[in-house]
Amino acid sequence: MSKNVTAAVGPLICVVGARPNYMKMAPLLRAIQAEPRLPKALLVHTGQHYDFALNDRLFADLELPAPDVNLEVGSGSHAVQTAEVMKRFEPVMLQHKPSCVIVVGDVNSTMACTLVAAKLHVPVVHVEAGLRSFDRGMPEEVNRVVTDQIADLLYTTERSAHDNLAREGIAPERAQFVGNLMIDSLQAALKKAVPPEATLAREGVAAGWLDSAAGFGVVTMHRPSNVDDPASLGELLDILRRVSERLPLVWPIHPRTKANIDKLGLTDRLAGVRIACLPPQGYLEMVGLLGKARLVITDSGGVQEETTSLGVPCLTMRPNTERPITIDQGTNTLVPRDATVVLRLVDEVLANGGKRGRAPELWDGQAAGRIASHLAGWLAHRVVAKHSEVTS
């Protein structure tokens, strides 16, 4: 039987649900299209993140094609959102009869679509598998553990992920180390990145705001532990006020964070300080800001990876991270929501440049090609094995 499986199997269903998924899926779709041994890809957007204007902008920035299917699930509790994705994804599976389903990351859509595919006996490929924070209080951690247990093929971004999978009883042959798709998108975007001055000017920030020998820092915050509790959010804003006395900050504010600041009457804490509060930005704008920043303060998983690749010191306001390689080899440092600790580390960055680290193994912008090549061989083997079963 031919090793070309394109005529023998259905399409590859590629699932995205939230902004971090787009950065990982964009280069992978291009690599799938360039691999002649693979069937066509069908892009399914669950609609878990549903800011359509921002979605359109991000898709354009990443040269990601419009979704073939949009489930338009929208917001809801974790249970409601997961259930709604499953209800709406199953008919898509039954209609298109895919050869496999490719999911990325750790959002609710990732786990929900994995469950649907597994119950329909369709193989699942999980990209960015094996990452663990060891904190089951994070909904993303539950999504990761469940997805990895069920998925048939696990692509990893760092070698420590294989140890995590082994501890959970997952056979080593199910996992393949390929590198980090996020870095594929980052490297492709660097030459097109929007300069910070242009982004700030477009958002109405006064000219000369960046005329400081210190440069600027970037803030991204969205996790419930930092922005949903009134006391925690108040502490966060006070810390940022004090940091801005040392370094101007640019803060593209997540919609939920902005809503909580407004609802809790905390807007005044952002008045009269050197914090440029912006609406959510496109990918090219964010890459421009991150690449030129003196430091980044975040609670985002993806930003930890991007800053490590860019060599920018990153302070992650979380008690743990599922991306330990960004600490061990990269530029990342975990910090508590404690002004004394944060200000000490900010001062270190301003005094001597802070933690620089190095790019981890296979974070080279070529992960998508490795995945497409391996996936073609894996699917061909499955087709041959299935044919042998039928004819034996």
**Catalytically annotated residues:** 222
What DSSP element (H or E) covers 316?
strand 314-316
Encoded amino acid at 89, one letter: F
For residue 270, with 0-12 CB atoms within 10 Å meaning exposed, 13-18 middle and 19 or more buried, which class applies? middle
CA angle 364, 370, 371 (to 5 degrees): 120
For 55, left (φ over 0), alpha (ψ -120 to 50), or beta?
alpha
Strands laid side by side in the 314-316 sheet: 275-278, 249-252, 217-220, 295-298, 314-316, 332-334
Could you tell me the two tokens for 74?
A: 């929208």
Answer whether 227's CB lies under 8 Å from 221's CB: yes
Structural tokens at position 141: 């951690």
On the 0-12 / 13-18 / 19+ scale of CB atoms within 10 A, 347 is middle
| Residues 6+ positions from 324 with CB-CB distance below 8 Å | 158, 160
